[in-house]
Each structure stands twice: as C-alpha cells, then as structure tokens.
Amino acid sequence: MPAQAKPPVKPAKPVKVEAGAARTDSPPLTERQEARRRRILHASAQLASRGGFDAVQMREVAESSQVALGTLYRYFPSKVHLLVATMQDQLEHMHGTLRKKPPQGDTAAERVAETLMRAFRALQREPHLADAMVRALTFADRSVSPEVDQVSRQTTVIILDAMGLADPTPAQLSAVRVIEHTWHSALITWLSGRASIAQVKIDIETVCRLIDLTAPEETT
C-alpha cells in the first residue's frame, strides 16, 4: 500500500509575546512614540553594522534618529538596553521572513535546525551587528532583564513556530530552552573565532534532537 503524503506543516498559533513594547511593564506606545522608537532601533542597527559595539554611541544614535538625547535615554537607559532591544527587533524581523518561507523537513527537529541556521546565516551577513548585540546580552545585568526576556521570548516563538506547536508540554519547553542556550552559545563561539560554521551546524542539529526525545508518546 503506497505511503500517504504528509500534509504541509502549518505554523503554530502565535505565542503571546509583547514583542513591540520597549519594556514589559510599560504602557502601550502611541503611534508617534512607536515611530520614534523604530527610528532609534534602526539607527542603532546601522551604527552597529558599521563598527560594532563601540560604534554605537548614544549621542550619535540620538542625532541619527532625530530625537533629543534625553528622549533617547527615556526609551533606553543605556547602550546595553538599546542593543539588546535591537537584537529583539532583529529577531522579530527574521521571524517575519521565516513565516513567509517556512522551513522544510519531515520532523520538528529538522525544521527547527533549519530555522536556527537560517537565522544564524542572517546574522553572519552582519558580523559587526551580531557581535554588538551578543556583547550587549553578555554585559546585561538585572536592570536589562525585561529586554533580555524579550529576546528569549522571541527566540522561543521562532522555535515553537518551526515545530508547528502552540501548546508545548513542560518537557518540550525545557528542550526549547536548552536549544536557545546552545544557539546563543554557538553565536558567541563563532564570533570569537572558536567555532566554524560547520561546527555550529553540527551543534545545532545535535541539540535539536532533544525535540524528538521530549515529544509526547502517541496513544492508540
């Protein structure tokens, strides 16, 4: 009897993540404030792309985004806050691109591995920007927790979407967290020259096998 064709994997319903807010405890931004915030994030990304972490100076960001320096600090209290928020914004854009062209693969593990490698290659094309954002994550202290949490949530959404999963079990969420840690660690080791792209790919594919190990057993 011929095998039945597998139906296409539908993206998971979006997990509730306040991706657009500057901080999780802030009231919703007005349209004008959101436009201003987007200009700031765009200026931050542009400066980081040209010269990395050190090239992002708050005064230059303010000038490039056409906002007062005091206004910039009200949105982002420090350069680390700004660059971590920039990473969340970049991940959000990547997620939109991934939704337009979903990953291929027969298993959830294969789709997640492809998704993370596509995101990795996008960052690879902008090494100075990637280095600036990862350094900011490394330097972040407790005051930057809301922004760091946003990066984590956005990464979780990307992984769950690739899995085609909207209601993960605790074991699956644990696997997702380990995958996130590995992906961020792979970024750091690659940026520092301690890992090749080939090694990163192997590590990502290996850790994504946790998805198969934590999948609920089907009952008959």
Residue range 64-114, pLDDT digits in tens: 999 999 999 999 999 999 999 999 999 999 999 999 999 988 899 999 999
For residue 16, pLDDT over 80 is answered with no
pLDDT of residue 78: 96
Structure tokens at 55: 């090239």
pLDDT-derived band of residue 219, with 50, 70 and 90 as boundaries? Answer: very low
pLDDT of residue 25: 54
Residue range 156-197, pLDDT digits in tens: 999 999 999 888 999 999 999 999 999 999 999 999 999 999
Classify residue 170 by burial, with Cβ atoms within 10 Å: 0-12, 13-18, 19+: exposed
Structure tokens at 150: 């946003």
Structure tokens at 92: 């959000």
Q: DSSP string covering 111-143, please?
A: HHHHHHHHHHHHHHTSHHHHHHHHHHHHH--GG
